Amino acid sequence: MQMSFRWYGEEDPVSLDYIRQIPNMKGIVSAIYDIPVGESWPLEKILELKQTIAKHDLELAVIESVPVHEDIKLGKSTRTKYIENYKTTLINLGEAGIPVVCYNFMPVFDWTRSDLSYALDDGSRTLIFDEEAVSKMDPRTLSLPGWDESYTKEEMKHLLDDYKKIDEEQLWENLSFFIKEILPVAEKAKVKMAMHPDDPPYSIFGLPRIITDKQALNRLVNLYDSPYNGVTLCVGSFASDPKNDAVEILIEMLEKGRVNFMHTRNVKLVGGKSFQESAHLSQAGSIDMYQVIKALVNHNYTGPLRPDHGRMIWGEEGKPGYGLYDRALGATYFNGLYEACLKANG
């Protein structure tokens, strides 16, 4: 397991200097944020990012994410040029020696929450998803951090209309087309693809969502039979649906050799489909993190792992989910579980 941390580039209030001081921290998960979705990433920019990180004695371990243009998800004829650009990006990432790319296939909206700064009983602040509050939200006027904010109101309306013609099977077909186009390129470039599950893993705002459960992951990895066609096993995303057993999903994908990246976040289910992002500790949420790390150790997982979202604690302010302190506590906790599991195995 390679302990890693997400970093949003020079704009990130959390500096590489600070990240480096977290015990056992080795990898950085980042991206190039100033290239419009759909355009290819130049090799020089990738190398520049890699060098900036290397100067701090860290390694650019994962690109999260190379976003997929909506025309690809919609299966429009214009997808051809965007798929070619995606291939160019993968070739350049391979050239720069970047081993893993995280991506997702969620229509329009990335991760969705109803409140980004909900006060927990202990005074910390966290992201929550309240089923009722989300059902009252208007997707045409909504914006959350990490989403593509380049749409005008009119463009957003058209985009949402376009998706009215796309059901889940059609979305699968468009994903299948994309996977079969890019995977041979990723294999040749030696870049492992790591599909992130939909977050939360069910339809919201009437939009189709397909990467939602164990069955979906099996269908995905069977679209192209290669270890390069793998997953980001985000236990917190899967566990947001009470129907999913995140540990069982993890073990199945480890057995198939398709886990290319780990996200370890805990969530506390609070009834129905509502949940709160909790501290990473098992007892704080609904995921048994000991079982997660034990599964990784037992399957000799050597890939990157990052503590996913953390709460805002100790008065820290910053990007919701991406403060320094709670994620650093998470990393330390996972280091401890890892050492214990490793030593228990002799």
Q: Which residues are catalytic?
A: 196, 234, 263, 308-309, 322
Cα distances from 300 to residues 93, 107, 148, 264, in angstroms, run 26, 34, 36, 17
Chain residues 145-164 in contact with Mn ion, contact rule CB under 5 A: none
Residue 234 binds to Mn ion (criterion: CB under 5 A): yes
The answer to whether 266 and 285 have CB atoms below 8 angstroms apart is: yes
Sheet holding 267-269, edge to edge: 115-119, 125-129, 275-277, 267-269
From the list 45-53, 171-179, 256-264, 329-337, the region that binds Mn ion by CB under 5 A is: 256-264
Comparing CB distances to Mn ion, the nearer of 12 and 308 is 308
Min. distance of Cβ 93 from Mn ion in angstroms? 20
How many binding residues for Mn ion (CB under 5 A)? 3
How many C-beta atoms lie closer than 10 Å to residue 34's C-beta?
A: 8
Closest CA to 163 of 147, 174, 152: 174
Comparison of 125 and 263: residue with beta carbon closer to Mn ion: 263
Q: Cα separations (Å) of 338 from 254, 292, 341, 344?
A: 16, 10, 5, 10
73 within 8 A of 174, measured Cβ to Cβ: yes
Shortest reach from residue 263's CB to Mn ion, in Å: 4
CB 106, min distance to Mn ion, A: 12
Of 75-83, 145-153, 301-309, 313-321, the segment contacting Mn ion by CB under 5 A is 301-309
* CB-nearer residue toward Mn ion: 237 or 274: 237
What span, in angstroms and rounded, lies between the C-alpha atoms of 172 and 209?
A: 10
Nearest distance from residue 246's CB to Mn ion, in Å? Answer: 11
Asked if 263 interacts with Mn ion (CB under 5 A), we say: yes
In sequence order, which residues have a C-beta less than 8 Å from that of residue 87 and are 6 or more positions away?
181, 182, 185
Residue 91 or 296: the one with the smaller Cβ distance to Mn ion is 296
For residue 261, the SS3 value is strand
For residue 326, the minimal CB distance to Mn ion (Å) is: 15
Which window, 62-70, 82-90, 200-208, 232-240, contacts Mn ion (CB under 5 A)?
A: 232-240
With contacts defined by CB under 5 A, name the span among 76-84, 127-135, 159-167, 229-237 that binds Mn ion.
229-237
State the number of CA atoms in the 13 A half-sphere of 120 facing the CB: 20
**Cβ nearer to Mn ion, comparing 258 with 263:** 263
Q: For Mn ion, which is the closer residue by CB, 19 or 127?
A: 127
Least distance (Å) from Mn ion to the CB of residue 308? 5
Whose structure tokens read 């890699």? 50
Residue closer to Mn ion, measured from CB, 187 or 308: 308
Q: Based on the shown chain and the rule CB under 5 A, indicate whether residue 259 belongs to the binding site for Mn ion.
A: no
Is 102 among the residues that bind Mn ion (CB under 5 A)?
no
The interface region with Mn ion, picked from 28-36, 144-152, 257-265, 315-323 by CB under 5 A, is 257-265
* Closest alpha carbon to 256 in 224, 291, 212: 224
Interacting residues with Mn ion between 302 and 341 (CB under 5 A):
308
| Least distance in angstroms from the C-beta of 46 to Mn ion | 22
**Per the structure block, which two tokens stand in for 46?**
């990738």
CA distances 151 to 72, 109, 138, 174, 238, Å, are 17, 12, 15, 22, 28
Distance CA 197, CA 213 (A): 8
Give the CB-nearest residue to Mn ion. 234
Write out the residues near Mn ion by the rule CB under 5 A: 234, 263, 308
